């Protein structure tokens, strides 16, 4: 099978990582794989480039920063993608994210015998107008797409409710690299030392960009409650975001009297070490999650999770952690306390069960095989 993935870029992000892993995994089982982006570069671009099994193509060498220039590149990008599909004689085009899905639909006009698959990787997102426009247009065009692959059950249901229709649709959960994401005690000791946390400290962390959908406020209010009940509970936020929003969170931290109990670690690339340093991983998201990679990665490292019932978080965690409602700091604090109150053996069992669930249900190879089956079904 000659397969072309199309996505805006291969920078930092869950969708970008998953597309890269799928492309690499399918190339390893002898499919001819092309990955086309609008612009080159990014950590996932470099990762694929290093492995050399996938053909990387960018439509433009750099981004035009003016509105007329961006509009020109979008229009010209459709034409260039059209030519690449013909030149490389691909069987399937698999695009991901709303704007890329829209551009791919236009690019395949006039080309016969090429299947178009849209990848959707979110659920109930709150969209600004720049994202709402392609989201809405895609809903009107979706009946003309051969297949839609969604990475979460919640995402599939949400998009169906919002008018997305295709002849076929399938849920393929994200895949976690369980060889990369595993507990490492040396990492734990080193990173905790860097953060000034002793072995006795119970470190509770949230990993993800600073964004309202991640609801760091609920995490902070829960931290305030828990800090009054547990002297050994400390908290960490790993990730970065807009300066204005970051300052709002820092001000709230001071108001709650948490300045000496919380670490703002900023963006980190050594995420296996970050998870290994934690005792509990939190996902307090209020909306928008599909399949949250950070939950799967933390569980793969054997870190028990407390998550809100948003997207497929509850499905991923199942009985290996605690599920709470969104915007409920008291529930969040109480769930964390239940984990902290476990005996050593009970915590060890919960940790082992967390990793086992990811290894049995949500590995990269599972994702690659499920994607291959879906693609072959679409072709046949």
**Which comes out higher in pLDDT, residue 295 or 128?**
295
Reported confidence tier of residue 123, pLDDT bands at 50, 70, 90: confident
| Domains of the chain: total | 2
Report the C-alpha gap between 171 and 152 in whole angstroms.
6
Q: Does 65 score more than 80 pLDDT?
A: no
pLDDT tens by residue, 88-116: 999 999 999 999 999 999 999 999 999 99
321-323-324-326 Cα dihedral, nearest 10 degrees: 110
CATH code, domain with 219: 3.40.50.2000
Same domain, 130 and 196: no
Same domain, 356 and 369: no
Reported confidence tier of residue 12, pLDDT bands at 50, 70, 90: confident
Same domain, 68 and 112: yes
For 265-281, letters b (16+ CB in 10 Å) and e give beeeeebbbbbbbbbbb
Residue 113: burial class (beta carbons within 10 Å; 0-12, 13-18, 19+): exposed
Given this model, what pLDDT does residue 4 score? 98
Portion of the chain with pLDDT greater than 70, in percent: 100
Given this model, what pLDDT does residue 173 score? 96
99 in a structural domain? yes
19 in a structural domain? yes
Q: Does 14 score more than 90 pLDDT?
A: no
Report the C-alpha gap between 265 and 274 in whole angstroms.
10
Whether residue 81 contacts residue 103, with contact meaning beta carbons closer than 8 Å, is answered with: yes
pLDDT tens by residue, 163-205: 999 999 999 999 999 999 999 999 999 999 999 999 999 999 9
Give residue 80's domain range.
2-175+364-379
Given this model, what pLDDT does residue 82 score? 98
Biggest CA-to-CA distance, the chain = 66
pTM, full prediction: 0.90
Q: Does 252 score more than 80 pLDDT?
A: yes
Report the C-alpha gap between 311 and 242 in whole angstroms.
24
| Residue whose C-alpha is closest to residue 120's, from 148, 147, 146 | 148
Reported confidence tier of residue 64, pLDDT bands at 50, 70, 90: confident
Same domain, 223 and 294: yes
Torsions phi, psi for 231 (to 5 deg): -70, -20
* Residues near 18 by beta carbon (within 8 Å), at least 6 away in sequence: 121, 151, 174, 175, 293, 367
pLDDT tens by residue, 256-298: 999 999 999 999 989 999 999 999 999 999 998 889 999 999 9
User: How many other C-beta atoms lie within 10 A of the C-beta of residue 181?
Assistant: 23
Reported confidence tier of residue 87, pLDDT bands at 50, 70, 90: very high
180 in a structural domain? no
Same domain, 189 and 154: no
Q: Does 367 score more than 80 pLDDT?
A: yes
Mean pLDDT over the full length of the chain: 95
Q: What is the C-alpha end-to-end distance of the chain, expressed in Å? A: 12
Report the C-alpha gap between 36 and 30 in whole angstroms.
19
Q: Does 254 score more than 90 pLDDT?
A: yes
61 in a structural domain? yes
């Amino acid at each position: 099978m000659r397969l072309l993935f199309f996505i805006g870029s291969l920078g930092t992000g869950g969708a970008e990582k998953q597309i890269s892993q799928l492309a690499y995994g399918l190339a390893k089982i002898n499919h001819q794989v092309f990955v086309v982006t609008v612009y080159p570069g990014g950590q996932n671009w470099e990762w694929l480039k290093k492995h050399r099994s996938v053909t990387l193509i960018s439509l433009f060498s750099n981004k035009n920063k003016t509105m007329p220039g961006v509009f020109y590149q979008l229009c010209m990008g459709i034409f260039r993608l059209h030519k690449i599909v013909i030149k490389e004689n691909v069987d399937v085009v698999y695009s991901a994210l709303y704007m890329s899905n829209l551009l791919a639909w236009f690019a395949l006009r006039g080309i016969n015998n090429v299947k178009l698959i849209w990848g959707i990787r979110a659920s109930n997102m709150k969209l600004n107008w720049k994202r709402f426009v392609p989201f809405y247009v895609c809903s009107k065009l979706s009946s003309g797409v051969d297949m839609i692959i969604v990475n979460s059950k919640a995402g599939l249901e949400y998009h169906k409710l919002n008018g997305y229709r295709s002849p076929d649709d399938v849920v393929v959960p994200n895949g976690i690299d369980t060889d990369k994401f595993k507990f490492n005690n040396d990492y734990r000791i080193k990173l905790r030392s860097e953060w000034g946390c002793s072995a006795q400290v119970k470190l509770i962390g949230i990993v993800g960009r600073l964004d309202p959908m991640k609801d760091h406020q609920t995490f902070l209010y829960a931290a305030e409650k828990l800090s009054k009940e547990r002297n050994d509970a400390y908290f960490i936020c790993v990730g970065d975001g807009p300066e204005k929003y970051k300052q709002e969170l820092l001000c709230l931290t001071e108001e709650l009297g948490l300045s000496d109990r919380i670490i703002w670690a900023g963006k980190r690339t050594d995420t296996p070490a970050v998870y290994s340093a934690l005792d509990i991983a939190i996902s307090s998201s209020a909306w928008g999650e599909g399949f949250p990679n950070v939950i799967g990665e933390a569980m793969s490292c054997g870190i028990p999770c407390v998550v809100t019932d948003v997207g497929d978080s509850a499905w991923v965690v199942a009985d290996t952690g605690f599920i709470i409602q969104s915007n409920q700091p008291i529930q969040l604090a109480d769930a964390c306390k239940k984990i902290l109150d476990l005996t050593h053996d009970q915590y060890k069992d919960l940790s082992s069960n967390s990793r086992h669930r990811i290894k049995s249900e949500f590995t990269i190879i599972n994702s690659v095989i499920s994607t291959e089956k879906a693609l072959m079904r679409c072709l046949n």
